Amino acid sequence: MRVIAGEARGRSLKAVPGSHTRPTTDKVKEAMFSMIGPFFEGGTALDLFAGTGGLGIEALSRGMELAIFVDSDRRSVEIIKSNMEAARMTEHAEIYCNTAERAIRTLEKRDIRFDLVFLDPPYRMKNADELMLELAARGLLAEDATLVVEHESGFRYPETFGDFQQRRLALYGETAVAIYHYGPIGGERGGMADDGE
């Protein structure tokens, strides 16, 4: 694995030992960022189920100012720290060992709004939409935030729920990437251009 573009382009990233995590492949990561960016002028990112931290690190490399990484596995947290050092971006990161649900409750206590959120839970988990609604309910999403959900290609999340609208759905073998926009449904929307709407 490596950082594909931006300030840390080409720097190698470690994988978590064993089969506990499922790192996003470089091919999928590159396609993902071509859909949502590909570059940013500041902003704050949240990488839930961060694993190796590859998605959040890529976002930092491409211009995000701050990324918060959350994973419940201590081995993953150590790998994220190592990868942040390799990418030379430790000053732009906060890394926490916690479940996604507890992390969301903790983050609510801070004056923080996320412009970009990655949700890449284990495929056995099918609750990314519930976590997105929780993020919104607790005031953790910026207006026009983009949320990226990586999930099993045979499963589908709703295209519209709450104030979330799916803008893109792309399939890569057993992996699907769903891109959501957060904002009032039917109102004026910024951010990404509509995909065929």
pLDDT band, residue 189 (cuts 50/70/90)? very low
Instruction: Delineate the domains of the chain, giving CATH numbers in brackets.
Output: 26-182 (3.40.50.150)
Task: Tell me the pLDDT tens digit for each residue of 81-91.
Answer: 999 999 999 99
Question: Which comes out higher in pLDDT, residue 1 or 58?
Answer: 58
Task: Tell me the pLDDT tens digit for each residue of 93-128.
Answer: 999 999 999 999 999 999 899 999 999 999 899 999
Beta bridge partners of 66: 44
Are 80 and 94 contacting, i.e. CB atoms less than 8 angstroms apart? Answer: no
Question: Given this model, what pLDDT does residue 24 score?
Answer: 81
Write out the E strands in 8-163: 44-48, 66-71, 93-97, 114-119, 141-152, 160-161
pLDDT higher than threshold 80 for residue 55: yes
From CA 67, how far away is CA 59, in angstroms rounded? Answer: 8
pLDDT band, residue 17 (cuts 50/70/90)? confident
In percent, the amount of the chain with pLDDT more than 70 equals 91
Question: Given this model, what pLDDT does residue 75 score?
Answer: 95
pLDDT higher than threshold 70 for residue 130: yes
Are 144 and 136 contacting, i.e. CB atoms less than 8 angstroms apart? Answer: no
C-alpha R_g of the chain: 15
Longest dimension (CA), the chain: 46
Nearest to 39 by CA among 56, 62, 19: 62
Question: Given this model, what pLDDT does residue 22 score?
Answer: 67
> What rounded mean pLDDT belongs to the chain?
90
Question: Given this model, what pLDDT does residue 146 score?
Answer: 98
Q: Please tell me the least confidently modeled range out of 31-35, 53-57, 99-103, 181-185.
A: 181-185
pLDDT higher than threshold 60 for residue 186: no
pLDDT higher than threshold 50 for residue 188: no
